[in-house]
Amino acid sequence: MKTRTIALAVGLTALMGSSVALADVQGWLNWRGPAGTGISQEKGLPTSLAAPLWSIKLAGGGTPVIANGKVYALGYDGVGPDLQEVLLCADAETGKKLWEKRFSDYLSDITYDRYAIGSPTVDPETGNVYILTSAGVFACFTADGKPVFQHAMMEELGRLTFTNGRTGAPTILDDLVIVRGITSNWGGDGAAMDRLYAYDKKSGQLVWSCSPGVAPKDNTFGRPIFSWREGKQVFYSGAGDGSLICVNARTGEPLWRYPISAGGMNATVVLYKQGTPDETAICIHADENIDASNAGRMTSVKTASVPKPPPPPAVAGAAAGPPVLDKSNEAWRNDDLAAVSSTPVLVGKNLYQTDKTGYLNCIDVETGKILWKQKFAPDQLHASPTYADGKLYVPFQNGTFCILQPNTTGAKELARTQLAGRCIGAPAVYNGKVFVFSTERLYCFGKKGGAPQAAVTSVGAMKPKAGPTVALQVVPSEVILRPGEKVKLTVRGIDANGFVTETFDASKATYEQYVPPTAKVRALLDAKFENGEIIGGTKSSAGAYQVTVNGFKGIMRGRVLTALPYTENFESFTPTEPDPLDPTAKFAYPPLPWIGARFKFDVRELDGNKVFAKTLDNIAFQRATVFFGHPDEKNYTLEADLMVDGNRRTKSTIGLINQRYYIILSGNADEVEVNSNQERIKVTVPFKVQTKTWYRMKTRVDVNPDGVSGVVRAKVWKKDEAEPAAWTIEVPHKNVHKQGAPGMFGYAPQALFKAYIDNISVKPNG
């Protein structure tokens, strides 16, 4: 009883603090507003949709955000190879553009213009703006559009893309900014997992990363929602493995997961009795349930539940994942509700949820019973309702935008309009106005002027006094270094709940090379430490260091990526691992610093040479992209020997990546292909590809003097013949990619035939 009383007091303190703490920057700062609930306290909002105050021709699939009189919107415009995502900053009163930043798609699988399915986030302290693009560029800008930092998560962490383009929104928690994605990184993070990454919001340095579940079934863009659990600041979210997860928000430690769906969980979690021992987390999905054959369910889970140990992993040697909850930990479930990613809004004890068939449902949050439902559109996909001034502002998939006034028996329709295009983002409310995106325009409804109410910070902004130090947190927790590059380290103590206790002098810490006991490749990072800085060595390497201060320990890891020229012929590798498909064969694991290589390629003996070979034991990895250079590399020539295998009907494919372009030797098509997302840029030339024949490929990307356009060039010839003078293929691009890590691509259709690469060379353009 004493523990319960203390926990309740902490929760109520957090809630009371959140109701009075004013944010430094005022507005609708993130996808679901000031407290992350989709609710505004403003009055006097529009009841008519007869005509917008203004609109801007910009397509979008997310939510615009508003800060200090400026609206920030992540959208896209252009067609074909010239389509770009756009971070727009405009005057919230007039819609006049103030500045914009443009981002090209690259190396992604996105189809049908599924771009900008995500939202900017504004930091309430600094006013800085954060976005995550469809290609995985995580960027921060000042309110005036000046760059603060940028990460190419695809090339740095192996972030994968998918046809649906789901990106989501960064999330601010005090000094952290959190983003997520399915990544296939290096070392222990080599397996593809839905991961969350917390960066220092000012420096952009990585603080922690989190793998909260098991193998993902889909990418998700659910947003973390913060609360408290046994003195820990936690967040809840749906995950790509179909689970509801609970994670320590200060350290990234997964505390439990509850497997629910056979697909990814995309809707954001809603908390009832937030921060108290009786708290429940409500989640919804539209895929098949793992314990029944029906699809879709809304579930309320008691968050104070004690989890059980995880079951053994399905694959030997794989991570078991965090502890698990089961059905006994549910408060209720409703199998008559299904939503792809539309998030409910909680008003009092009423949950308002749009389902996938276009109904608005009112649900009792304590029982899960549907109190009433009313149809307003043919269907619904991502868009979520927003509640303000006693009304629900609800966009639908078909472009219908409604103002609805809910009551005890239904919802009165106050206004309805048909927007151009489709609506898949939630509305934002600020200063007497409602902002909503469609896949053709950004709209603002309401009157000029207004008197906005002061915004409040969320529950996540409060924290208790830290306890005694039990461990170290090293920032950055993961680093990429060039030879001789120096990065300043921050070494701080944390208590048992993950809160910072003190900051130590990093120059007085001890640094010892560390190899995890479960490591498949026992490799060391070539680096040294001086004056509290880590300094990159000369060798391409990857590994971890254990950091110690006053007996407290922490781990950091990193990679050194050598300067150009760079070569690799794989002759230093010794194949000793047994082949799962051929007991007479052996292989060696890929170079540890390479991103996305693990389980997808390995080193083999072939005709007396060591070569890099596409694996066949897992059909899920029949396509693979690998990066082996620095994301900032540019103006280089990349060469390698390539070989495909197959028969008359089916051949493998192998290729290189130069500055964010695939240059592919396509066995099935008998072509050389240049692409960077096949729906945006795809140019081919005929080229008869013979199996079991080594070819040499040479590629380069040249930026024109205008600094904007450029040309991708490649030539391919049989290895035992002379290099031809002419390029095999030349592809101009109006918005050329100006940088990008060198890499490779392999495709083994149905995991039937291998593809091979050898004698890689990367050197500066001459």
One domain for residues 601 and 712: yes
pLDDT at 310: 87
| Nearest one of 248, 285, 252 to 266, comparing CA atoms | 285
What is the pLDDT of the chain when averaged over all its residues? 93
- The answer to whether residues 426 and 395 touch, using CB atoms and an 8 Å cutoff, is yes
Q: Are residues 438 and 499 in the same domain?
A: no
Is a pLDDT exceeding 70 seen at residue 8? no
User: Comparing C-alpha atoms, which of 124, 215, 210, 123 is closest to residue 170?
Assistant: 123
CB contact at 8 A, 373 and 333: no
The pLDDT > 90 percentage for the chain reads 86
Structure confidence at residue 15 (pLDDT): 33
The pLDDT score that the predictor gives to residue 317 is 55
Q: Which residue has the tokens 């206004």?
A: 415
CATH number at residue 574: 2.60.120.560
pLDDT-derived band at 24 (thresholds 50, 70, 90) equals confident
Mean pLDDT check: name the lowest of 16-20, 258-262, 354-358: 16-20
For 346, residues 6+ apart whose C-beta sits below 8 A from its C-beta are: 37, 270, 272, 282, 352, 365
Can you give the CATH number for the domain in which 547 is found? 2.60.40.10
Evaluate if residue 706 carries a pLDDT over 70: yes
Residue 122: CB atoms within 10 A of its CB come to 26
Please give the average per-residue pLDDT across 56-73, as a whole number: 96
Are residue 202 and residue 337 in the same domain, yes or no? yes
10 Å CB burial of residue 684 (0-12, 13-18, 19+) is middle
**Each residue's pLDDT tens digit, 369-402:** 999 999 999 999 999 999 999 999 999 999 999 9
Given a contact cutoff of 8 angstroms between Cβ atoms, the answer to whether 244 and 514 are in contact is no
For residue 68, give both structure tokens: 């200090």
Choose one of 514, 536, 560: the last residue of a domain.
Answer: 560
Report residue 223 as tokens.
């947003």
Same domain, 504 and 576: no
My answer on whether 60 and 136 are in the same domain is yes
Higher pLDDT, 218 or 602: 602
Contact 303, 250 (CB under 8 A): no
Give yes or no for residue 14 having a pLDDT over 90.
no
Q: What is the pLDDT of residue 19?
A: 33
What's the confidence (pLDDT) of residue 766? 84
Q: Which residue has the higher pLDDT, 384 or 312?
A: 384
pLDDT band at 502 (very low <50, low <70, confident <90, very high): very high
- Those residues whose C-beta lies under 8 Å from the C-beta of residue 551, and which sit 6 or more positions away, are none
Q: Which domain holds residue 688?
A: 566-764
pLDDT at 7: 31
314 pLDDT band (50/70/90 cuts)?
low
Q: How far apart are CA 412 and CA 395, in angstroms?
A: 15
* Dihedral sign of CA atoms 83, 89, 93, 97 in order: negative
Same domain, 525 and 655: no
Average pLDDT over residues 641-648: 96
pLDDT for 451: 62
**Same domain, residue pair 481 and 523:** yes
Domain count, the chain: 3
Percentage of the chain surpassing pLDDT 70? 94
Distance from C-alpha of 130 to C-alpha of 122, rounded to nearest angstrom: 6
pLDDT of residue 16: 28
Do residues 611 and 570 touch, judged by C-beta distance below 8 A?
yes
Neighbour-count burial for 531-555, b at 16+ CB within 10 Å, e otherwise: ebebbbbeebbbbbbbbebeebbbb
Tokens of 53: 């105050």
Of 84-88, 594-598, 615-619, the range with the lowest mean pLDDT is 615-619
Give the tens place of pLDDT for each residue, 416-459: 999 999 999 999 999 999 999 999 999 999 998 876 555 444 44
Domain boundary among 501, 527, 560: 560
One domain, residues 8 and 155: yes
Q: Provide the pLDDT confidence category of residue 556 given band limits of 50, 70 and 90.
A: very high
Contact 162, 184 (CB under 8 A): no
Q: Quote the pLDDT of residue 452.
A: 59
549 pLDDT above the threshold of 60: yes
Last residue of a domain, one of 418, 445, 460: 460
What pLDDT does residue 198 have? 98
Give the integer Cα–Cα distance in Å for 375 and 6.
45
Residue 3: partners with Cβ closer than 8 Å, 6 or more residues away: none
Same domain? For 165 and 301 the reply is: yes
Q: What's the pLDDT at 618?
A: 87
Q: 28-37, 184-193, 487-496: which has the highest mean pLDDT?
A: 487-496
What pLDDT score was predicted for residue 608? 93
Which pair of tokens denotes residue 303?
């968050």
Cβ-proximal residues to 372 (8 Å cutoff; 6+ apart), any chain: 361, 362, 409, 410
Q: 455: which 2 tokens?
A: 């915004």
What local confidence, expressed as pLDDT, does residue 462 receive?
57
Using one digit for the tens of pLDDT, what is the confidence trace for 185-236?
999 999 999 999 999 999 999 999 999 989 899 889 889 999 999 999 999 9
Angle at 653 between CA 651 and CA 656, to 5 degrees: 165
* Torsion over CA: 271, 272, 275, 277 (sign): negative
Q: What is the pLDDT of residue 315?
A: 57
Same domain as 487, residue 368: no
Which CATH number is 100's domain given? 2.140.10.10
Give yes or no: residues 472 and 453 share one domain.
no
Same-domain status, 556 and 577: no
Tell me, what's the pLDDT at 468?
A: 97
